[in-house]
Amino acid sequence: MSPAPEETAENVTGSEETVHIVGARPNFVKAAPVVDALERRGMRQSVVHTGQHYDDRMSAVFFRELGLPKPDVDLGVGSGSHAEQTAALMTGLEKEFIVRSPGRVVVYGDVNSTLAAALVASKLHIPVAHVEAGLRSFDWSMPEEVNRRVTDQLSGLCFATSPEAVGHLADEGVPVGRVHLVGNPMIDTLLRHLERFDVAELRGRLELPEKYVTATLHRPANVDDPETVGRLVERLHEVADQVDVVMPVHPRGRAAFAAAGLGDHPRVWLLEPLGYLDFVTLVRGSTAVITDSGGVQEETTILLVPCLTLRPNTERPVTITHGTNRLAADSELPGLVSKILVGDTFGTPAIADVPPLWDGQAGERIATILAND
């Protein structure tokens, strides 16, 4: 529905409806506890799915498994360059916000949908709340770093998952009254479904070996350059010489890894993308995880699975200081996996050492603040 010509940013007025913007699978996992907590408070809300992830295995299955309500709107934006995708997102979201005139827009994480929604809402004078504010890698080559920094500056409420995130926001001049340390809603979702992660059932259904390492790689720095991919495949084959490697292949890197011969090793298992329950179950049963995903760093911290993050930096250092995560170069992977296989897990903590407020109540804290704001 297109807005009437006279409907402009200047005369859009707020309502009590809260609109949640989700576009990619990490957003769904973070939004579920917040949507649920607001629902129990009887607050008016709707979910707008931008369609940034549009394949069923990357999107719809998450709604089904997490109990999220069917999106009120699916913009179906799809893929494209950063400029093309962000422009399409902004155009679609502007029309939607003018029609809906929400009282607040809640955005999650650091994907292009997050940035686009924050920009559009701000220009329409609609308050923005950012869940997972303040994370910083200090690596401007990462699109996510740009997205989260701009989004935080535009957000009236910044919900931080860890103490260092609060510090980053303070350093950047975000007023203290806008910042709330609430914990991690992604961990709410994990803890809520913990009993459903049945490793034995998954192994049997997928015919997986008893001992394996899970690999999941999708970031541009790791999958866009054929030379880099070729080197990674060599290292993963060296890991597979020691232990089976199971890799759900993200669409972004599928062609590159296939061209480099990743599946040619007899102990490398290539899977289609998995839904939330199957993927976290796979991680839970792993001897170790090799990843470049931010969310997986957090999930392994709670599941106490050694995690090797194939990046020079992380916006989630709390997963190193309070978790099982370690940054690694590709050349280090075979040696580090070898150590893990003999029991050296570089200081895996006791469960009592998990990051503060990662207790399954972040969604409740966020909902309380939104309801009272």
Q: What is the CATH number of the domain that holds 174?
A: 3.40.50.2000
- From CA 91, how far away is CA 107, in angstroms rounded? 17
Same domain membership, residue 340 and residue 203: yes
> What pLDDT is attached to residue 9?
40
Same domain membership, residue 202 and residue 139: no
Given a contact cutoff of 8 angstroms between Cβ atoms, the answer to whether 158 and 135 are in contact is no
> What pLDDT is attached to residue 258?
93
Given a contact cutoff of 8 angstroms between Cβ atoms, the answer to whether 199 and 272 are in contact is no
Q: In what order do the strands lie in the sheet with 212-216?
A: 268-271, 244-248, 212-216, 288-291, 307-309, 325-327
- From CA 278, how far away is CA 284, in angstroms rounded? 10
Catalytic, out of 218, 250, 265, 322:
218
> What pLDDT is attached to residue 78?
74
Q: List CB contacts of 142: < 8 A, sequence separation 6 or more.
A: 219, 221
User: In the structure encoding, which two tokens stand for residue 269, read together?
Assistant: 């298992």
Q: Left (φ > 0), alpha (ψ -120 to 50) or beta: where does 78 sit?
A: left
Q: Which of 147, 135, 137, 273 is nearest to 217 (CA)?
A: 273
- From CA 118, how far away is CA 109, in angstroms rounded? 12
Query: Is there a domain that residue 82 lies in?
Result: yes
Looking only at the bridges linking them, the beta strands covering 179-181 and 288-291 are: unpaired
Same domain membership, residue 282 and residue 139: no
Nearest-10 Cα torsion for 302, 306, 307, 313? 90
Asked if 218 is an active-site residue, the reply is yes
> What pLDDT is attached to residue 7?
40
> What pLDDT is attached to residue 10?
40
Query: Is there a domain that residue 2 lies in?
Result: no
Same domain membership, residue 171 and residue 126: yes
Same domain membership, residue 207 and residue 168: no
- How many CA atoms lie less than 13 Å away from 200 in the CB half-sphere? 1
> What pLDDT is attached to residue 252?
73
Stretches where the chain sits below pLDDT 70 are: 1-15, 52-59, 346-352
Domain that holds residue 119: 9-184+357-372
> What pLDDT is attached to residue 348?
60
> What pLDDT is attached to residue 62?
78
Same domain membership, residue 267 and residue 248: yes
Q: List CB contacts of 48: < 8 A, sequence separation 6 or more.
A: 19, 20, 21, 22, 71, 72, 73, 75, 93, 96
Same domain membership, residue 295 and residue 269: yes
What is the Rg, in whole angstroms, of the alpha carbon atoms belonging to the chain?
A: 20
Same domain membership, residue 367 and residue 218: no
Same domain membership, residue 215 and residue 78: no
Same domain membership, residue 157 and residue 103: yes
Query: Is there a domain that residue 312 lies in?
Result: yes
> Whose structure tokens read 């979201």?
93
Same domain membership, residue 295 and residue 264: yes
Count of structural domains within the chain? 2
